[in-house]
Structure 1
C-alpha cells in the first residue's frame, strides 16, 4: 500500500513539471524538442552511432552523409548556420513555411507549437560556433563523392 501511494504521489508531482515544460520557451526545452523531434538523427553526425549521446562540438552541424533517391542526393544542413543568420522570428517563420527535399519531414516542423520552434532556435543558438556548411544537394544524374544512404521507393503494383 505504501509503495502504491508513493508511486501516485511521485507521478502527481511530475505531471505539473511536464505540463509546465510544454509552452515554455527555453534552451532546455529546445534540447528536448531537438531530441524528440529527431533533429539530431540527421543533423548531428555520429548521433545514431553513439546511441543518442549528443556531442556538443557536432550537435546540429549537419552531415557529410547524403540521402540519395530519385530526387538526387540531399544532405542534412548545418542548422547552426541557419540560426546564426536569422532572428528568432525569422527562424520560426522559416519553419512554418519550409518545404524541403526527402527525407526531411518538413510537414512535421509545421505541426510544432510555436513555443517549441522558439525553444529550438534558442537551443541551436546556445551551441556556439556554427562551423562550415554541409555539402550541397547533388542532381540525380550526378554521382556523389561522399558516403550516402540509397533510398529506393517501392514500385507501385500495376492494375
Structure 2
C-alpha cells in the first residue's frame, strides 16, 4: 500500500486494521447470505420454518431435537455451531466436500458449493460462536425413538390429504 493511500485512509478516520478487516467482513456477510438462501435454518434451527424465518440470528443453527423418520431410521439435524467449533476452516471444506448423510440432508448439494462459499459459511457460523447442545443420536430402524419426529415416508396418492392446488398471493 503506498504512502498516499495510507494518508488518505487515515485522514478519513480509517485505520489500517479496519481496512484489512473489510475482506473478512465481506466473507461473513456472504456466509450469512448462503445460510439464508440454502435453507440450512429450515432443519438446523428449531422453529425456523414454522415461524417463517422469524428467529433471531443468535438462535440459528443449534441443531434440532425433532427427527426425520424414514426407512433409514431417525436422523437429526446436527448443531452446526458446535460442529464447526470442532473443525478448522480447511477441515470444514473437506468435511463438506466429502459429506454423505442420511435424509433429508441434501449432502450432494454440499459437495457442489464452491470452496470460497464454504469458507464464508464457516466464517459466519464461527462468528456466531458455540451455542446449544448436541442433537440426539441417530436411531436405527426399529430402534426406540424418544423424541418427536417427522414421518418422512411418502404415502400413495389415494391416501394423500394434502392441498389439491397451490395459489399465489
Q: Please, which runs of 5 or more residues in structure 2 have no aligned partner? A: 1-24, 157-169
* Structure 2 match to 1:5: none
Match of 1:118, SS? helix
TM-score (norm 2): 0.74
Match of 1:40, SS? helix
With CA pairs under 8 Å and 6+ residues apart, which has the higher RCO, 1 or 2? Answer: 1
* Structure 2 match to 1:72: 73
Distance in structure 1 (CA, Å) of the matches to 2:28 and 2:62 = 17
Deviations 1:99-150 (A, max 9, x none): 0011100001011111110011011101123331010100111131111000
The alignment of Structure 1 onto Structure 2 pairs a total of residues equal to 132
Match of 1:140, SS? coil
TM-score (norm 1): 0.78
Give runs of aligned pairs for residues 1-159 of structure 1, distance below 5 A.
26-153=27-154
Distance in structure 2 (CA, Å) of the matches to 1:87 and 1:117 = 12
Whose Rg is larger? Answer: 2
